[in-house]
Amino acid sequence: MVVEQKATIIESAVPYEKKWMEKWKQARIFEADPDPSKPKFMICVPYSYQNGPLHIGHGFTFTRGDVYARFKRMQGYNVLFPWAWHWTGEAVAGTSERLKQGDQFIRKVLIEIDGVPPEIVEKFTDPAYISKYYTEENRKVVEAIGFSVDFRREFYTTDLHPYYSYFIKWQYNTLRKKKYVALGKHPVVWCPKCQSPTGDHDRLIGEGVSPQEYTIVLFSIDGAYLAAATLRPETIFGVTNIWLNPNHEYVLIEVDGKKLIVSRKAALKLSEQKKNVKILDAVNPDTLIGKYAKTPLIDIEVPILPAEFVDPDFGTGVVYSVPGHAPYDYAGLLTLKTSSKWDKYNIKEIVEKIKPISIIKVEGYGEYPAVEIVEKMKILDDKDPRLEEATREIYSKEFHSGVMKDNCREFSGKTVSIARDEVKHKLIEMKLGDVLWELPEKVVCRCGTECLVKIVENQWFLTYSDPEWKSKVKEHILNMKIIPEEARQWFLNVVDWLKDWACTRKTGLGTRLPWDPEWIVETLSDSTIYPALYTISKHLNQGLVKPEQLTDEFFDYVFLGKGEPAKLSNKLKIDLRLLKEMREEFLYWYPVDMRISAKELVPNHLTFYIFHHVAIFDEKHWPRGIAVNGMITIEGEKMSKSRGKFIPLKTAIARYGADATRCTLLLAAEDMDDPDWREKNVQEVKQMIEQFLKIVEEVARAELVEHTYMDRWLMSKLQKRIKSITMNLESLKTRKACHEALYGMYNDWKWYLRRTEGVISKKAKTFIENWVKLLAPFIPFTCEEAWSILGKEGFVSIESWPIVLGELISPEAELQEEVIIKLIEDVRRIINLIPGKKEKLTIYISSREKIDLIEEIYKIVEEEGQKNMGRIIKTIISKLPGKEKIASTLAKIYVDLISSLTPNYKLKTIINVAEREEEIYREAREFISKELGLGVEIYREGEQDIYDPLNKSEITVPLRPGIYIE
RNA sequence: GCGGGGGUAGCCAAGUCUGGUCAAAGGCGCAGGGCUUAGGACCCUGUCCCGUAGGGGUUCGUGGGUUCAAAUCCCACCCCCCGCACCA
Q: Is the pTM of this model over 0.95?
A: no
- Distance in angstroms: CA A58, C1' B88: 13
Find and list the nucleotides of strand B having atoms within 7 Å of a protein beta carbon.
1-6, 12-15, 20-21, 25-28, 41-46, 51-54, 68, 81-88
Handedness of CA A663, A664, A665, A666 (dihedral sign): positive
Q: Distance between CA A709 and CA A216 in Å, rounded? A: 86
Q: Distance between CA A878 and CA A891 in Å, rounded? A: 13
Handedness of CA A580, A586, A587, A588 (dihedral sign): positive
**Nucleotide whose C1' lies closest to the alpha carbon of residue A487:** B4
Neighbours of A568 (CB within 10 A): 20
Handedness of CA A331, A336, A340, A342 (dihedral sign): positive
Q: Distance between CA A590 and CA A717 in Å, rounded? A: 39
- Distance in angstroms: CA A221, C1' B18: 71
**Nucleotide whose C1' lies closest to the alpha carbon of residue A966:** B53
pLDDT at A777: 95
Q: Are A115 and A108 in contact (CB under 8 A)?
A: no
**Residue A472: CB partners within 8 Å, gap ≥ 6?**
A614
Q: Are A128 and A509 in contact (CB under 8 A)?
A: yes
CA-nearest of A514, A520, A509, A508 to A459 is A520
CA atoms within 13 A on the CB side of A777: 32
pLDDT averaged per 10 residues in sequence order, chain A, 966 residues: 61 91 97 96 95 92 94 97 94 88 88 90 93 94 96 95 95 95 87 79 76 90 93 93 95 93 92 88 94 94 94 91 93 92 91 94 85 89 85 80 89 86 90 88 81 86 93 92 88 90 90 93 94 96 93 97 96 96 96 93 94 96 93 83 84 91 88 85 86 90 91 92 90 89 89 89 94 94 95 96 93 90 88 82 90 84 66 82 80 81 84 92 90 89 85 87 89
Q: Distance between CA A750 and CA A929 in Å, rounded? A: 18
**Residue A347: CB partners within 8 Å, gap ≥ 6?**
A289, A290, A303, A305, A306, A336
**Nucleotide whose C1' lies closest to the alpha carbon of residue A89:** B88
Q: Distance between CA A191 and CA A427 in Å, rounded? A: 30
Name the E strands within A774-893.
840-845
Q: Are A189 and A409 in contact (CB under 8 A)?
A: no
Q: Max alpha carbon distance in chain A (Å)?
A: 121
Please give the protein residue whose CA is closest to the C1' of the nucleotide B82. A600
Q: What is the dihedral of CA A492, A493, A498, A504, to 10 degrees?
A: -70
Neighbours of A464 (CB within 10 A): 21
pLDDT at A7: 52
**Nucleotide whose C1' lies closest to the alpha carbon of residue A833:** B52
- Distance in angstroms: CA A580, C1' B43: 64
**Nucleotide whose C1' lies closest to the alpha carbon of residue A601:** B83
- Distance in angstroms: CA A506, C1' B60: 55
- A693 by Cβ neighbours in 10 Å (0-12 / 13-18 / 19+) ranks as buried
| SS3 call for A936 | strand
Q: Are A621 and A109 in contact (CB under 8 A)?
A: no
- Distance in angstroms: CA A423, C1' B41: 75
Q: Distance between CA A295 and CA A297 in Å, rounded? A: 7
Helices (H), A702-761: 711-730, 734-739, 745-756
- Distance in angstroms: CA A744, C1' B26: 9
How far are the Cα atoms of A228, A432, A450 from residue A304, in angstroms, in the given order?
12, 18, 31
**Nucleotide whose C1' lies closest to the alpha carbon of residue A829:** B54
Q: Distance between CA A863 and CA A201 in Å, rounded? A: 67
CA-nearest of A350, A348, A338 to A382 is A338
Q: Are A759 and A705 in contact (CB under 8 A)?
A: yes
Torsion angles phi and psi, residue A914, rounded to 5: -60, -35
How far are the Cα atoms of A163, A352, A535, A564 from residue A569, in angstroms, in the given order?
18, 87, 19, 8
CA atoms within 13 A on the CB side of A369: 24
Torsion angles phi and psi, residue A364, rounded to 5: 90, -5
- Distance in angstroms: CA A173, C1' B26: 55
What ipTM does this complex have?
A: 0.92
